[in-house]
Structure 1
Amino acid sequence: MTARLGVAIVGAGVIGRAHARVAVAHPGLRLVSIVSRTLDSARSLARYVHVELEGDAPAVADSLDAVLVDSAIDVVVITTPSGSHVEIAEAAVDAGKHVVIEKPIDVSLHRARRMVALAERAAASGIVVTVISQNRFAPAVVAVKHAIESGRFGRVTSATATVAWWRSQEYYDSGDWRGTWAYDGGGALMNQGVHTVDLLLHLLGRPVEVFGYASALVHERIEVEDVAASVIRFESGAVATLLATTDAFPENSTRLQVHGSAGSAFLQNGLLEYFHADDAHPAGMPRGYGRLGNQAAREVPEHDLPGAPAVTDFFNGHLRQYEDLIEAIDSGREPRVTAAQATEALALVRAVYLSQTLGRPVAFADVLAGRHDHVEPVVGSDADEARVAGTA
């Protein structure tokens, strides 16, 4: 590209700052405008850009209208609450703007499907719509994905995904919307675990059937779960277990292990803890005995191995995904994270909730297609009561 893409950020909260950092730092981008219903929030983010990031001061507005008619703006970045994403995206696409949507795509599968249809319509006009899934772009994840796709792991047979986090009661009490179906869309699995759900799909493909449990065991005054566990069967025949909880005091880690007939890899907090592929197995070493021959250091840079300094913000991952956005716009190809892929992650989370509610396995295709949209999810013992009452 010869010209920088003009960017408007809609939503001036914490995650908006991560997008602002990328727009200022990347030579192919230029932050033009910040939009927020609260002008003070927009002005605060604009000051952060100008003073702390030493970027050009962006314009501020409390309405999307000015952004949509501004020819200097090429990309609209949506960082507002999830339930508002689709309406903003539709307006931006209709105005000929490319769209970046901060995850999750929505908390409603019905609205997510609208976004998929919108993205398909946009693509026909050369407009790119992508959803942030920055963890897919981490070097450790890229290495594992390449190993699977190139056959280095043989037949992938199983995976385990664990999100063992802690959230206090004060966390849930800090806002009326926390821990509710209407605004949170779910609990530990939806909010803390959705990133790992996305990676599980990224590495193993499309699920076929899901069986899950979800309960609120520790926290009070919440509608949603603080622990969820499930077994997932994939089209490839592989099976996976998925656990997400906010009850793991004082907080543990996020782990994803992938196992195949010729190799395995373990990811911990986005770093490559272990990697072994049979094609690089040292000559003379016994095969199949525990974790001999960790090849992780050959696969990723040193800073993507355990012991590296912790990364406390989303900047690097978002920066990598914006690189993909720019390439997609420049070449006319599809972005590496599509609205359809983001919707599948949302559907897998909902499938776990539906299995808990219905008390049986559910077909992933039925959930994705909306055949269970009429079912309201219920967790824990309330689900048993709902089934007895015939309302589930």
Structure 2
Amino acid sequence: MLNVAIVGAGIIGGNHADAIVRHPRLRVAALVDAVPSVAEALAARLDPAPMVCSTLADALSSTGIDLVAVCTPSGLHVEAAEETLRAGTHLLVEKPLDVSLPKARAFAKVAAEAEARGLVCSVVSQHRFDPALVAVQRAVREGRLGRLTSAVVSMPWWREQAYYDSADWRGTWAFDGGGALANQGIHLVDQMLALLGRPVEVYARTARVSHERIEVEDLAVATVRFAGGALAVLHATTSAPPGLPVRLQLHGTHGSAVLHDDQLEYFFAADRPGVAAPAQTRALVPAEELFGAPKAPDGFVVGHLRQYQDIVEAIDDGRPPGVRVADGLLALALVRAVYVSATLGRPVDFEQVLDGVHDDVEPSVEEMV
């Protein structure tokens, strides 16, 4: 058994706990939260009940913590992550890696050193383990779609004003690190990177169109050019009532693939002459992963469970996890590039953003309320 300490016992921490208790090799050994009643409420629904601590140091001082899952507000991720690695403990950090690219950049170096010492360091990107994305990524890697040429990625979600009013840190640059793109859309950003590779240039606009009392955007639109030559359109909003499923279209010189609501809707590759797209689609993933099949009500937990399985295997095998801190850094840098471009009103070079050339740019959001 591997003993897990969850730092941050809110909604996301509870989701991690639900995933952990379903894994035969994992046990929630400690819950850490600055508000004891929050941790105690989560502990009460777990069996056996874990230890409740007010600080991560208290949890790490106990014997036998093998893995720490950091589920605090985004602006507090790096501090808890560094403390975990200093203690010689394996690490999983919720997305995004942090709200600050400079902090995340510095932490990536710390994580690389920890990996060299044999620690597993990962960032939550549970959708990388969705069967549909895994199948399409494999097809891309095998060259079945030919040279990738374009993609359209959209997250038309809806969040009530009450969502942002529910906690002081929501909708702030300091703790949320951004709005619809940084908080919700970063999963789509990560999937773009997994399929299309490294970005080269970003040109974006952001706006606040339907929410009040927030600093950040509830709408972001960007065009992204990738090193392989592909062009992509990225759209992320929490202002699309009633909220629609995410959609990712990928096109290449020899075929296309469409993921809708994290399931496979369409796949065609010209390397199978005479086989129509519906047959190719059905052959690529299990029936329950095809778009239109009923989704499990606990799908959100299942996604995290898949990533926890990868982490357990990485610890057992002494290999890097499927999603590393370096991957989380690239996703955060792409989000930051969108904000920098929108603020400056011009295209920006991705590598310059990643390297810190634009670290002094304070993001601004067009007001359209």
Distance 1:170 1:36 in 2: 23
Match of 2:178 in 1: 186
TM-aligned CA deviation for residue 175 of structure 1: 3.5
CA drift at 1:63: 2.1
The alpha-carbon deviation at position 381 of structure 1 amounts to 6.3
1:299 is matched with which residue? 284
Match of 1:386? none
Name the structure 2 match of 1:250.
242
CA gap of 1:187–1:66, structure 2 versus 1, over 3 A, is closer
2:140 alignment counterpart: 148
1:343 and 2:335 are equivalent in the alignment:
no
Which stretches of structure 1, 4 residues or longer, exceed 4 Å deviation after superposition?
none
Contact 2:199–2:225 (8 Å) recurs in 1: yes
TM-score, normalised with respect to structure 2: 0.95
**Aligned positions of 1:134-283 closer than 5 A:** 134-282=126-274
Residue of structure 1 aligned with 2:63, choices 47, 66, 71: 71
Letter in 1 for 2:331: A
DSSP-derived class of the 2:357 partner: coil
The answer (yes or no) to whether the contact 1:86–1:114 under 8 Å persists in 2 is no
CA distance in 1, matches of 2:292, 2:36: 42
Aligned residues: 367
**Match in the other structure for 1:133:** 125
- Alpha-carbon distance, 1:293 to partner: 4.1
| Distance in 2 of aligned mates of 1:24 and 1:218 | 39
Identity of aligned residues (%): 53
**Deviation by residue 1:119-148 (Cα, 9 ceiling, x = unmatched):** 111112111110110000000000000000
* Structure 2 residues without counterparts, runs of 5 or longer: none
Distance 1:296 1:232 in 2: 27
Which one is further off, 81-90 or 144-153?
81-90
Which one-letter code corresponds to 2:53 in the other structure? A
Do the aligned residues in 1 keep the contact of 2:288 with 2:295 (CA within 8 Å)? no
Q: Which has the larger radius of gyration?
A: 1
The TM-score with structure 1 as length reference comes to 0.89
Instruction: Give the match for residue 7 of structure 1.
Output: 4
The answer to whether the Cα contact below 8 Å between 2:334 and 2:350 also exists between their aligned partners in 1 is yes
Deviation at residue 312 of structure 1 after TM alignment = 4.5
The one-letter amino acid paired with 1:32 is A
- 1:62-112 Cα distance to aligned partner (Å, 9 max, x none): 122232223311111111111222121212111111011111111111121
Alpha-carbon RMSD: 1.7
Partner of 2:294: 309
What are the ranges of 5 or more consecutive residues in structure 1 without an aligned counterpart? 51-55, 286-291, 383-392
Aligned to 2:22: 25
Give the letter aligned to residue 280 of structure 2: Q
